[in-house]
Amino acid sequence: MSLREDVIANVEAYFDQGRMKAELAELIACPTESQVPARRPELQDYLARLMTPRLEAAGFTVSLHENPGPTGGPLLVARRIEDAALPTVLVYGHGDVIHGQADQWREGLQPFVLTEEGDRWYGRGSADNKVQHLINIAALEALIAVKGSLGFNATILLEMSEENGSPGLKRFCEQQKDQLRADVLIASDGPRLQAVHATMFMGSRGAATFDLVVEKREGAHHSGNWGGLLADPAMILAHALASITDQRGQIRIPEWRPTSLTNGVRAALDGLPIEMTDGPTIDQDWGEESLTPTERAYGWNSFAILAMTSGVPDAPVNAISGKARATCQLRFVVGTNAEDILPALRRHLDRHGFGAVQVISRKDDFFAATRLDPDHPWARFVARSLTQTSGQAPHVLPNLAGSLPNDCFADTLGLPTVWVPHSYRGCSQHAPNEHVLAPLCRDALRCMAGIFADISTGRDLPGRT
């Protein structure tokens, strides 16, 4: 058998013998809710107790770091430098999860207990992102076990506040450029387009989250005594929001309409699947009318209202509230001027007579947009490896529809970035009943083992002969 075949057989045994499931259960049992301040000890515990001994046993030198941002969680850097002349692969993951939402999971399920039902493994972090970096670490360990070495250098970066917008990560990458120097980032997050088909993407849409607020007066006033006399903040806000898109969600702010959906990007997206058999039905009459659903999700910008409040929705009273607020988000692609997103919104609101609407930035909830050409040598290398392992060419996306801190790697560290996700779009990440599919995990282990084994041979590596 070849090295490649031996490493793949090793990870297959790791899965088939139940070791992966047991290890994932231990990771999920650590309630690393980064959005809950009281969970900060668990964030540290995840890195110190669960990650550090394992990586040290695999020959990595591990260091734990305080986040340079005041609101960010700790970070881990693990390095295995076998030869300075060899290429270096940077692997990233995040061990934090969003709120457990324990009271919303269906009967028989708990967020921090791995529960198996058929092919599904339930638990918070089962899809995002504990299973994903576990798979990648296990694949590296398999290569070391079979070969006795990696045959390349590897650096692993784990953060514990991605679900809070990765505060401090960019500054940390700037401060640790020497420690994080690499030839390529190969990481995993997000979903495959189809559970049974490998996917790779080379960037992500950006995300700008902000509040729109109308505050007219202190407190609420009786709607009978004051109705028709006091301006209603909720109504003003509703009209302001409605001015941002038309009735099918097409963006009306010119600066928010990208110019980067080129013929090349459209060709890359052509034919990629977007519908799901077990997901919600796509509304064909929603979004940019001239684009296909795939182009809307991966090549265009989208505006969403994440939450709205005025008064007390669960206990309404006969009163005109004094304040209304909406939390909104623009997902944007490369080609959108990120620094002008909120100024453009301000200009739009003023033009339409909504000067009373405040625009309040949520600076910690911002991700930049990134995109690597699918024809980049490292993208082609990974695509060839995935094809060899799975027997079919992967789905290749110029960028993920969601958002990741990929700019820290692509822009700050100057790396080509290739992401190979190990979840699927129906996994309920960020929601109750989050889960991962066991067959997908086994396939993902095989795919990553193949990629790392191919890098280990040194053949056809980008930039090397």
**Average pLDDT of 358-375?**
89
Answer whether residue 144 shows pLDDT above 70: yes
Distant-in-sequence, close-in-space partners of 282: CB < 8 Å, separation ≥ 6: 274, 275, 293
**Average pLDDT of 167-180?**
97
Please report the pLDDT score of residue 245 as a whole number: 98
Please report the pLDDT score of residue 83 as a whole number: 97
**Average pLDDT of 344-369?**
93
Neighbours of 327 (CB within 10 A): 18
Tokens of 160: 């514990």
Give per-residue pLDDT as tens, 431-441.
999 999 999 99
Q: Which sign, positive or negative, has the C-alpha torsion 369, 193, 189, 61? A: negative
- Which residue, 178, 162, 193, 20, is CA-closest to 92? 162
- Which residue, 331, 29, 31, is CA-closest to 160? 31
- Which residue, 81, 94, 95, 93, is CA-closest to 181? 81
Please report the pLDDT score of residue 196 as a whole number: 95
**Average pLDDT of 392-397?**
95
Tokens of 185: 């980032």
Question: To the nearest whole percent, how much of the chain has pLDDT over 90?
Answer: 91
Instruction: Report which listed range, 8-17, 360-369, 393-402, is most confident.
Output: 8-17
Residue pair 237/357 in contact by the 8 Å Cβ criterion: yes
Tokens of 386: 């995935």
**Average pLDDT of 338-347?**
97
Neighbours of 247 (CB within 10 A): 8
Reply yes or no: is the peptide bond before residue 129 cis, omega within 30 of 0: yes
DSSP calls for 85-133: TS-EEEEEEE--B----GGGSPTT-BTTB-EEETTEEESTTTTTTHHHH
Answer whether residue 446 shows pLDDT above 90: yes
Please report the pLDDT score of residue 366 as a whole number: 83
- Give the span between the Cα atoms of 387 and 393, in whole angstroms: 5
Block residue for tokens 């430098």: 81
| pLDDT classification of 147: cutoffs 50, 70, 90 | very high
Residue pair 296/302 in contact by the 8 Å Cβ criterion: yes
The separation between CA 50 and the C-alpha centre of its own chain, rounded to angstroms, equals: 22
Phi then psi for 16, rounded to 5 degrees? Answer: -65, -30
Please report the pLDDT score of residue 465 as a whole number: 45
Helix or strand run (H / E) with residue 442? helix 438-457
**Average pLDDT of 441-465?**
92
Please report the pLDDT score of residue 463 as a whole number: 76
Q: Which domains does the chain have, with CATH numbers?
A: 3-204+370-457 (3.40.630.10), 206-266+284-367 (3.30.70.360)
CA distances to 74, 183, 277 from 443, in Å: 31, 26, 20
Helix or strand run (H / E) with residue 237? helix 233-242
Residue pair 402/205 in contact by the 8 Å Cβ criterion: yes
| pLDDT classification of 277: cutoffs 50, 70, 90 | low
- Give the span between the Cα atoms of 292 and 284, in whole angstroms: 9
Q: Is 162 helix (H, G, I), strand (E, B) or coil?
A: helix
Question: To the nearest whole percent, how much of the chain has pLDDT over 70?
Answer: 98
Answer whether residue 67 shows pLDDT above 70: yes
- Give the span between the Cα atoms of 83 and 464, in whole angstroms: 15
